[in-house]
Chain A
Amino acid sequence: MSPGPARRLVPSYLATGGVGAPEHSRFEELTALQATGRSALPHHTPAHQRLLNLVSDGGLTVMEIAGYLRLPVGVVKMLAAQLVSDGHLRAAAPLPDALAPAINAGRPDKALLEEVMHGLLAL
């Protein structure tokens, strides 16, 4: 009767409140989300509220929100889609694409981004 590996207690589907994502929602990992300022509705789950609290002071990407909330990225996408369709969030196009001078320009490679990150941290 030795304890096994720590087992999940709260499943992710609790975050969405049992409701699926709207059909047309297409979010990327780097889609930036910003609050519109509307407060949460009664049907919003604690996860929705936490997401709104996170982005209330400024925009965050889906990936960052997933990191903060410790939720799978897909779940955050679903939450974000629900909140966008409810009018609580504004989604912006992913930043690297916005920065790209041309439509078909490639993104910076991973090594370069890591160097930049280390540079930033060294500031």
Chain B
Amino acid sequence: MPSLPLPPDCPVRPRTVLGARTSRTNPVRTWDFGKRAASQGGRTDAPLPYPRRQVGLPGVGVPSRPISAGDRRSHSEDPLSVTPNPEAAVAVLGAATVVGTVAVVALAKSRAALSRRCAELSAQTAEQSQALAALQAREAAQFEELRHLVSSRLPAAALHLISDHHPVPGALLDDGSDYAAQIQAAHDLFVESLVEERGRIDAAARAALRGACTAIQAQSFRLQTLVDDLQRDCRDPEVLQEYFRIDQLNERVLRLVQKAAIVSGSWPGLVRPDTHLPDVVAGATSRLHGFERVQVHTKLPAGGVGVVGRAAEPVAVACAELMANALESSRGDLAVEVTLLQTDNGSVCVQIDDAGKGMTREAVARGTRLVAGDNAGNLLITELGDPPALGFAAIGQLVADHGFHVSVDQVSPYGGVRAVLAVPKHLLTTIDETAEPPSAMAAMPTPAPRTPIPPVTAVSAEPAEGLRDVSAPSAGDAHTLPQRRRRSGSSRGRSLTRAPRPVDPEEAGTAWGDFEQAVAAGRDGTESENKDKS
């Protein structure tokens, strides 16, 4: 590689000079200033337009420049050599020197220009090759980015929509370039389209499910009415037992259908009047497979704690789902303990304890999220698994609609799950137990602590809510007959419109004697009947 020439405007150049003159002053190297050569030599008249210098051609040594070296030496060492015409010779030599110098200068100039051009070109080439390499690298990176998008990011985004557990990798190129922005836009469009389409499909699925469930629910209600009527008319215990089985199966079907209908955006399907909470819980119990294992204990204060009508069925559905979870997650011979209690802040809690294995942390987190009902409106059926687990989702929907609270994140005393449904004050009401007693199947209230009483009357001292006059003192009332209570709104005869009155045992005995006499008289003839009547 030849040494690159120095820039032409450099005033000082190292120079190797051959010849006696230069070797005398500086045997090896001298710094040659442009003007010095002209003044020292005296051979040239005009100052040199260009700095005189020795330019080495590649591969050619300076000594091969015979013109300047030879001339200069001969001229300076032998100025008055043997020449016929010294002036002519001087002139010729001078002219030759001038010509040679000009030629050298021109050559040097063109060579410098050539070198410059060459340098420029090679720099350009280097730049271009660099740019090409950068472009190739960029193209490779962009292709890699595209491949990453198609093979990793889009599938991951689709999976992420199914389950949050799937991580979505970010872009490889994150340089804020237009290309990266376009890639991100394609990704976002993909996700957006997917979400939109999924919502559309889910809405269609929900509509289909809702329609089917509502229809089945209506038929199931009709069957319920029919079986209930049959039960009322049935006198044969064995047949009645079969009706019970049909009834229970129908209740289970109703529960499943109602749950699916609620998740798919329907309402619970019926409105109830204000209902005693123990009745609501008993009704919820009756809808479950294995309802015999549910033990309900009431710690509610006396006075008929009820749920307002609009919330009665939703609370029943939510209780049924929580109890169903408890029954399903615990062994078949373990009881599920349900406790009703009123808290100090006025709300009433239904506490459901099972002795199962409990839920995993993920299940608890998922359940808590679902029953909170925060996102109930945007819930997708496809998110609930296959087959969809609808229980918690249905509870969440009801919670969002009616404003009671459900928690499933506690541990029961038996190591299972403690689910608590809290009915706030504004959904509670007081129901007159005398006018509207709870059903016979509602849980009996826990008896209050009392003084010891004779064992025979132990059962009688325990008041059956709504079944006898609660105003009657229990201590002195042990020998009275049960108070018969009237059903409100009933039209079973004129006697039912009369107010209850206290029964005197003596009077009752007399009346019973009269009754016997009347029966005997009735068998004998109608005359005595008329006489008795008068």
Contact = CB atoms under 8 A, between A and B. Distances in A.
A15 B291 contact: no
Contacts of B238: 20-21
B237 A77 contact: yes
Given A81-B237, A99-B519, A9 B232 contact: no
Interface string A14-42: 11111111000100000000010101100
B231 A72 contact: yes
Contact of A10 (B279, B464, B516): B279
A53 B479 CA distance: 13
A86 B511 CA distance: 34
B71 interface: no
A91 interface: no
Interface stretch (B42-50, B120-128, B197-205, B244-252): B244-252
Nearest to A122: B533
B234 A57 contact: no
Given A6-B272, A75-B231, A81-B237, A57 B484 contact: no
A36 to B, nearest CB: 10
A57 B231 CA distance: 29
Contacts of A60: 482
B443 A20 contact: no
Given A10-B283, A58-B481, A74-B240, A17 B292 contact: yes
B292 to A, nearest CB: 4
Contacts of A117: 495
5 contacts: A13-B248, A46-B444, A57-B481, A69-B467, A77-B235
B241 interface: yes
A47 B441 contact: yes
B440 A47 contact: yes
A7 B518 contact: no
A15 B441 contact: yes
A11 B459 contact: no
A68 B26 CA distance: 142
Contacts of B241: 20-21, 78
A103 interface: no
Given A57-B479, A75-B231, A116-B515, A9 B459 contact: no
Contact of A72 (B221, B234, B487, B516): B234
Interface string B442-468: 111000000000011111101110010
A57 B283 contact: no
A25 B478 contact: no
Interface of B: 221, 224-225, 228, 231-232, 234-238, 240-241, 244, 247-248, 251, 267, 270-273, 275, 279-280, 282-283, 285-286, 291-292, 296, 312, 316, 437, 439-444, 455-460, 462-464, 467, 478-482, 484-485, 487, 495, 498, 511, 514-516, 518-519, 522-523, 529, 532-533
Interface string A69-99: 1111111011001000000000000000001
B458 A13 contact: no
B187 to A, nearest CB: 44
Contact of A50 (B279, B464, B479): B464
B496 to A, nearest CB: 10
A69 B270 contact: no
Given A56-B457, A77-B237, A121-B498, A10 B511 contact: no
Q: Give 3 closest A-B pairs by Cβ, nearest first.
A: A13-B244, A3-B271, A21-B237
Contacts of B285: 14
Contacts of A3: 270-271
B440 A69 contact: yes
Contact of A115 (B462, B485, B533): B533
A25 B441 contact: no
Contact of B267 (A1, A15, A47, A108): A1
Given A54-B464, A57-B478, A70 B440 contact: yes
Contact of B286 (A7, A14, A51, A121): A14
Given A57-B479, A115-B529, A45 B484 contact: no
Nearest to A99: B519
A74 B237 contact: yes
Contacts of A123: 511, 514
A75 B230 CA distance: 12
Nearest to B461: A56
A37 B516 CA distance: 28
Given A53-B459, A57-B479, A74-B234, A13 B529 contact: no
Residue of B285, B439, B523 most packed against chain A (CB within 10 A): B439
B273 A6 contact: yes
Nearest to A64: B484
Given A18-B292, A53-B464, A112 B439 contact: no
A37 B272 CA distance: 38
A20 B286 CA distance: 16
